[in-house]
């Protein structure tokens, strides 16, 4: 697929380009700053070659705070179906919340560390490009281990464990394996989680929604 890559560190940008090309992707353009990301995206879009995925770093010039994230959110606001994957050096629930409250999915938030496990990284990119939602396991872990009151209080410790594994991308069988439960028991827990988090049975992608619902209602 065609990618638009924004990363301010030349060293890392080069390595990412090499890695992504090795994975068989095409880098349509690269950007070193947030404004460059916006202008490059506009250029590609106007030429009728909108990238299949925008991959951007959070912390970028000019202000060196979360400019990359802002630019990505702006792109999403203008083009609500544009898949966006955000890479970050550290976990910030604030970033995760801002991204994952976007409607339509096709969004991802990963620690930069994940490029290490390149197959998983490639799969995450594919998933986001095809409309999926990807949350870094560490973010999920965080949200699940938080100590302040939230909708998660409604869940039993066991259900919380199940939700954690679910958010990690585990299938029912894998969860059953990890917790030494039967498949039926896992299904029952998941059913309870959906009910407690008010997720209707007809909704698509309920697994990710389970985490999303939590994110959206947390704190505010």
| Alpha helices in the chain, H assignment, sequence order | 10-22, 34-46, 67-78, 93-100, 118-129, 137-145, 157-167, 172-179, 183-196, 206-217
Q: How far is the CB of 47 from other proteins (least distance, A)?
A: 29
Q: Which is nearer to other proteins, 48 or 157 (CB)?
A: 157
Q: Which is nearer to other proteins, 94 or 101 (CB)?
A: 94
| Dist. CA 210–CA 208, nearest whole Å | 5
Q: How far is the CB of 48 from other proteins (least distance, A)?
A: 31
Write out the two tokens for 19: 């890695």
- β partners of residue 111: 88
Q: Which distant-in-sequence residues (6+ apart) come within 8 Å of 137 by Cβ? A: 167, 168, 169
Q: How far is the CB of 132 from other proteins (least distance, A)?
A: 21
Q: Which distant-in-sequence residues (6+ apart) come within 8 Å of 188 by Cβ? A: none
Q: Which is nearer to other proteins, 5 or 175 (CB)?
A: 5
Q: Which is nearer to other proteins, 96 or 197 (CB)?
A: 96
Enumerate binding residues for other proteins (CB under 8 A): 9, 11-12, 14-16, 18-19, 22-23, 59, 61-66, 89-90, 92-94, 112-113, 115-119, 121, 142-143, 145-148, 219
Helix (H, G, I), strand (E, B) or coil at 69: helix
Q: Which is nearer to other proteins, 121 or 194 (CB)?
A: 121
Measured CA to CA in angstroms, residue 24 lies from 19, 50, 64, 122 at distances of: 9, 18, 31, 10
Q: How far is the CB of 66 from other proteins (least distance, A)?
A: 5
């Amino acid at each position: 697929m065609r990618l638009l890559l924004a990363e301010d560190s030349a060293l890392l940008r080069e390595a990412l380009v090499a890695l992504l090309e090795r994975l068989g992707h095409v880098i349509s353009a690269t950007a070193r700053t947030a404004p460059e990301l916006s202008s490059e995206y506009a250029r590609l879009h106007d030429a009728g070659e909108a990238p299949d995925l925008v991959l951007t770093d959070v912390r970028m010039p000019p202000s060196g705070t979360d400019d990359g994230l802002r630019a990505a959110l702006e792109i999403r606001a203008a083009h609500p179906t544009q898949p966006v994957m955000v890479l970050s050096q550290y976990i910030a629930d604030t970033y995760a919340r801002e991204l994952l409250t976007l409607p339509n999915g096709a969004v991802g938030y990963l620690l930069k560390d994940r490029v290490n496990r390149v197959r998983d990284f490639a799969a995450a990119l594919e998933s986001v490009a095809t409309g999926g939602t990807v949350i870094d396991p560490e973010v999920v872990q965080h949200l699940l281990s938080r100590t302040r009151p939230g909708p998660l209080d409604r869940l039993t410790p066991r259900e919380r464990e199940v939700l954690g594994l679910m958010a990690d991308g585990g299938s029912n069988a894998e969860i059953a394996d990890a917790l030494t439960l039967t498949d039926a028991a896992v299904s029952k827990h998941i059913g309870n989680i959906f009910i407690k988090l008010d997720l209707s049975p007809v909704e698509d992608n309920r697994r990710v929604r389970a985490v999303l619902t939590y994110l959206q209602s947390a704190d505010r």
